[in-house]
Every structure is written in structure tokens, then in C-alpha cells.
């Protein structure tokens, strides 16, 4: 497991990793999302002991289409390939779920790459609906997780 330290950060802190992992070969502007500076949006970075960003994610308030539940969507989750499997991705996901719960979300969702299905399901997410194609990126599924109460630690998890 990593010695990851997570922090809420400005979008600029995570754009280099997001670009390198999710939009390689495209202009840097391709890694900027319209929601990056929207009200309620937050960004999380996981740092290694040398303060290098090893994973990142962006959460934004957005109801799951077809539901009325308060929800947060996350996107732009990326892990440095050199640090995969060391817990940095899990660290940003957990920190993001906790922050979303602290902000009142009952549900978190994402359009996740089908190839990451095992990761999401291992961390309590459920695939929902049919697989779909994101042009230029590949096959995706919608993944959702219900959040439990927000204790002193802002804990998030699957409801019983």
C-alpha cells in the first residue's frame, strides 16, 4: 500500500497527470473539463512522499440521469502508470467519496471504462445499464455507489 497523502487541490495541480494519462497525444486543453471551475466541483490529488502527484480525480455535483437523488459524478480519474497498484488511485477515490458524502451526496456515479469494471466493483460500485462507446476513448459503463452517513471522518461506503 502507498503512503499516499490526499488533498483538495485546484484543477491546475492535477491537469498534467490527467493530460498524460487520459488524453495523451492530444493538446493539453483536451484535459480541461468545462466543469473544472463550476460551483461545487472539487479535485483531489494523491501525493507520494516526494510531493509528486500520483493519482487524481474530479468530483462535481450532478444527479444521475433519470433519478432525483443528490449525487456527485466523478471523472478524470487517473493514476500514474509508474505507481499503479500502490494505492494512489484508491486513495483519491476514497477521499472523494468521503468529501462528496460530507457535502450531502447520497449517490456517486461515473462513466467508467469497461476495462476498469473489476476495480469499481471491488470498491463497492455497481454497473448500471448497457455498455456504451465514448468516441475516441472506448467502451464504458455507468457505475454507481450509495453513500452511508457522514461521521466525523466523513466516511463513505455502501449502505447496508
Instruction: Please report, rounded to a whole number, the percentage of residues in the chain having pLDDT higher than 70.
Output: 91
pLDDT in tens, 96-140: 999 999 998 989 999 999 998 999 999 999 999 888 888 877 899
What is the model's pTM?
Answer: 0.86
Of 132, 32, 130, 116, give the one whose Cα is nearest residue 76: 32
pLDDT in tens, 63-99: 888 877 779 999 999 999 999 889 999 999 999 999 9
For the chain, helix (H) and strand (E) counts, in that order, are 3, 7
Q: Are strands 107-113 and 71-79 parallel, antiparallel or unpaired?
A: parallel
3-state class (DSSP) for residue 32: coil
Q: pLDDT at residue 48 above 80?
A: yes
Q: pLDDT at residue 148 above 80?
A: no
CB 5 within 8 A of CB 50: no
Mean pLDDT: which of 1-10, 52-61, 125-134 is highest? 52-61
DSSP at 63 = P
Amino acid at each position: 500500500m502507498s503512503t499516499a497523502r490526499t488533498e483538495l487541490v485546484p484543477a491546475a495541480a492535477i491537469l498534467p497527470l490527467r493530460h498524460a494519462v487520459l488524453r495523451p497525444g492530444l493538446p493539453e486543453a483536451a484535459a480541461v473539463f468545462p466543469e473544472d471551475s463550476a460551483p461545487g466541483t472539487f479535485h483531489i490529488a494523491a501525493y507520494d512522499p516526494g510531493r509528486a502527484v500520483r493519482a487524481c480525480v474530479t468530483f462535481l455535483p450532478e444527479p444521475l440521469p433519470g433519478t432525483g437523488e443528490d449525487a456527485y459524478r466523478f471523472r478524470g480519474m487517473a493514476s500514474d502508470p509508474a505507481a499503479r497498484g500502490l494505492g494512489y488511485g484508491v486513495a483519491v477515490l476514497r477521499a472523494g467519496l468521503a468529501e462528496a458524502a460530507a457535502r450531502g451526496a447520497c449517490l456517486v456515479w461515473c462513466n467508467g471504462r469497461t476495462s476498469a469494471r473489476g476495480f469499481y466493483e471491488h470498491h463497492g460500485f455497481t454497473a448500471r445499464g448497457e455498455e456504451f462507446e465514448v468516441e475516441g476513448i472506448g467502451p464504458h459503463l455507468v457505475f454507481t455507489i450509495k453513500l452511508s452517513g457522514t461521521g466525523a471522518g466523513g466516511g463513505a461506503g455502501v449502505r447496508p
